[in-house]
Amino acid sequence: MRSCAAPTKWHSVTTGVYLGGYPSAQFALNRAYAYQLSFLGATNDLDVSGDTYTLWYDRSIGYGITYVLFPYFKPWSSNRYTLDYIVYDCWWHAFFDGIHHPQGFTVNYWWRDTPKLPTLTIVDPGSSAAEAFSPLPSQPPTYWFPPVYT
């Protein structure tokens, strides 16, 4: 296992523990072919703020898991990324105390939802009974075709 170490310009210390990925940690995902994110956990109550996703297990006591993506992944691009460098940090928290407890996670790339779409799935290995989906930005309309000049 490796900690999700990242450049020091983001945070001083990460707490999340990357446990692996499917098909493999070094699988190179083409961002252009990822249509959505999904989060497998014990709930589908999801908040999104920029690159930060919080799965709330119990909002009333502030109990949830927060995932922070690397900022280069979410915007649409034709770049390729390996599964072990998509989630920058992950922690669980409770009672609104601000303490970041280390949380293990896995990252998978497969076809999910209805209709079936290429999906990047982040999994809480302790509980994966519910799934929350979040769309990813798609390509700009003029990416594949040149602009029309009049």
Predicted TM-score of the model (pTM): 0.84
Residues of the domain holding 80: 44-138
Residue carrying structure tokens 């999801």: 46
Q: For residue 85, what is the DSSP state?
A: G
Q: Is residue 148 part of a domain?
A: no
CA distance 124 to 119: 16
Per-residue pLDDT tens for 64-119? 999 999 999 999 998 999 999 999 999 999 998 888 899 999 999 998 877 889 99
Per-residue pLDDT tens for 24-65? 999 999 999 999 999 999 999 999 999 999 999 999 999 999
The pLDDT score that the predictor gives to residue 149 is: 61
Q: Is residue 31 part of a domain?
A: no
**CA contacts within 13 A on the Cβ side of 138:** 7
Q: Is residue 21 part of a domain?
A: no
Binned at pLDDT 50, 70 and 90, residue 129 comes out as confident
Domain count, the chain: 1
Q: Is residue 132 part of a domain?
A: yes
